[in-house]
Amino acid sequence: MVRLEAVLDSWKSVRDDSAQAVEDFPAAELDFRPTADLMTFREIALHILHAGHALTGILLDGVDNMATPDFREKLKKYYYPLAENPSAAELAAAMRQAVEARIPQLASRSADFYAQILTRFDGQRVTRLEMLQMVKEHELTHRSQMFMCLRLKGVVPSTTRRRLAKQ
């Protein structure tokens, strides 16, 4: 069984690496777009910030059905307050602050809360803990995109730097 503490610790680590990627990316190139049909680096980072904050906010508010026509509009009220085009420093700080604020809120909920079933935005029925795990997995996916952008700019991602430092 997955423990809440493990999910929260893991999400914090993922978020730290996402924020570090923002700090490591060339600040003057935050609007870099690898191809015309992909989000910019800044847009990916903002998406990570807003999606993680909004989905956990909805989760904490006890919403049990995310498969509604106005779901995307409802998400906006939970977005982390931040200027539209933040600097790298502002964005990285907001990413860290948002997760630091959410983790104690999420940790304070009972096992019964996390065992409750909800309907995800894609119609799947999952427990609240499974939904929280999905939030982390969603961020991992987009963190991978950020790491690819770092590599395209000749920057080694923090996870690789840590691994190499141990060798």
Note the pLDDT tens digit of each residue in 28-68: 999 999 999 999 999 999 999 999 999 999 999 999 999 99
Distances (CA, A) of 19 to 13, 47, 67, 138, 166: 10, 12, 30, 15, 22
Domain total of the chain: 1
Range of the domain at 131: 4-166
pLDDT above 80: residue 1:
no
pTM of structure = 0.94
CA dist., res. 123 & res. 66, Å (int)? 8
- Domain containing residue 44: CATH number: 1.20.120.450
Which pLDDT score, from 0 to 100, does residue 83 have? 87
66-107 pLDDT, tens per residue? 999 999 999 999 999 998 889 999 999 999 999 999 999 999
Which pLDDT score, from 0 to 100, does residue 116 have? 97
110-127 pLDDT, tens per residue? 999 999 999 999 999 999
Which pLDDT score, from 0 to 100, does residue 84 have? 82
Which pLDDT score, from 0 to 100, does residue 69 have? 94
Which pLDDT score, from 0 to 100, does residue 119 have? 97
